[in-house]
Amino acid sequence: MSVLSGKNILLGVTAGIAAYKTAHLVRLFIKAGAQVKVVMTPASKDFVTPLTLSTLSQNPVYSTFFDKSDEENEEWNSHVELGLWADFMIVAPATANTLSKMANGVCDNLLLAVYLSAKCKVYFAPTMDLDMYKHPTTTANIEKLKNFGNVFIAPSSGFLASGLEGEGRMEEPENIVSLIENDIIKGLPLYDKSVLITAGPTYEAIDPVRFIGNHSSGKMGFELAKMAVNLGAQVYLITGPSNEKVSHSLIKRIDVISAEEMYNEAHKIYSSINIAILSAAVSDYKPKIVAENKIKKSTDTMNIELVKTKDILASLGEIKKDQFLVGFALETNNEIENATDKLKRKNLDLIVLNSLNDKGAGFKKETNKVTIIDKSEKISEFSLKSKAEVAEDIFNEILNRIYA
Give the per-residue pLDDT at 12.
97
Give the per-residue pLDDT at 270.
97
| CATH 3.40.50.10300 holds for 194-402 | yes
Give the per-residue pLDDT at 321.
94
Residue with the larger pLDDT of the pair 166 and 88:
88
Give the per-residue pLDDT at 367.
87
Q: Comparing 30-44, 70-84, 132-146, 371-385, which segment has the lowest mean pLDDT?
A: 70-84
pLDDT digits (tens, 9 = 90+) for 252-272: 999 999 999 999 999 999 999
pLDDT digits (tens, 9 = 90+) for 56-95: 999 999 998 776 665 555 566 778 888 889 999 999 999 9
- How does DSSP classify residue 66? B
Q: Closest Cα to residue 284, out of 243, 342, 356, 354?
A: 342
Q: Closest Cα to residue 399, out of 233, 172, 223, 269?
A: 233
- In the predicted structure, residue 160 carries a pLDDT above the cut 70: no
Mean pLDDT of 377-388: 93
Give the per-residue pLDDT at 166.
67
Q: Tally DSSP H helices, then E strands, for the chain.
A: 13, 22
- The CA dihedral of 22, 86, 232, 182, to the nearest 10 degrees, is 30
- How does DSSP classify residue 248? -
At residue 25, the 3 state secondary structure works out as helix
Mean pLDDT of 358-376: 81
Average pLDDT of the chain, as a whole number: 91
Q: Closest Cα to residue 114, out of 42, 63, 185?
A: 63
Residue with the larger pLDDT of the pair 302 and 165:
302
Pairing mode, strands 61-62 and 156-159: unpaired
Whether 132 contacts 96, CB under 8 Å: yes
On the 0-12 / 13-18 / 19+ scale of CB atoms within 10 A, 21 is buried
- In the predicted structure, residue 291 carries a pLDDT above the cut 60: yes
Domain ranges of the chain: 8-186, 194-402
Give the per-residue pLDDT at 247.
83
Q: Look up 214 and say whether it is catalytic.
A: yes
Give the per-residue pLDDT at 72.
58
pLDDT digits (tens, 9 = 90+) for 91-124: 999 999 999 999 999 999 999 999 999 999 999 9
At residue 348, the 3 state secondary structure works out as coil
Give the per-residue pLDDT at 167.
75
Q: How far is it, in rounded angstroms, from Cα 214 to Cα 338? A: 21
Q: Do the domains 8-186 and 194-402 sit in the same CATH topology, yes or no?
A: yes
Q: How confident is the model at residue 357 (pLDDT cuts 50, 70, 90)?
A: low
pLDDT digits (tens, 9 = 90+) for 212-228: 999 899 999 999 999 99
Whether 75 contacts 108, CB under 8 Å: no
Give the per-residue pLDDT at 118.
93
DSSP strands (E only) in 142-278: 151-152, 156-159, 165-169, 194-199, 204-205, 211-212, 234-239, 251-255, 275-278
Give the per-residue pLDDT at 403.
81
Q: Which of 8, 59, 214, 347 is catalytic?
A: 214
Give the per-residue pLDDT at 80.
82
Whether 384 contacts 369, CB under 8 Å: yes
- The CA dihedral of 158, 162, 163, 167, to the nearest 10 degrees, is -20
For 92, phi and psi rounded to 5 degrees?
A: -155, 120
Side-chain half-sphere exposure of 193, counting CA atoms within 13 A: 22
Q: How confident is the model at residue 398 (pLDDT cuts 50, 70, 90)?
A: very high
- Span between the terminal Cα atoms of the chain, in Å: 30
pTM for this structure?
0.79
At residue 36, the 3 state secondary structure works out as strand
Mean pLDDT of 307-329: 96
Q: Which CATH architecture has domain 8-186?
A: 3-Layer(aba) Sandwich (3.40)
Question: What is the percentage of the chain residues whose pLDDT exceeds 70?
Answer: 93
Q: How confident is the model at residue 400 (pLDDT cuts 50, 70, 90)?
A: very high
Question: What is the percentage of the chain residues whose pLDDT exceeds 90?
Answer: 76
pLDDT digits (tens, 9 = 90+) for 173-186: 999 999 999 899 88
At residue 356, the 3 state secondary structure works out as coil
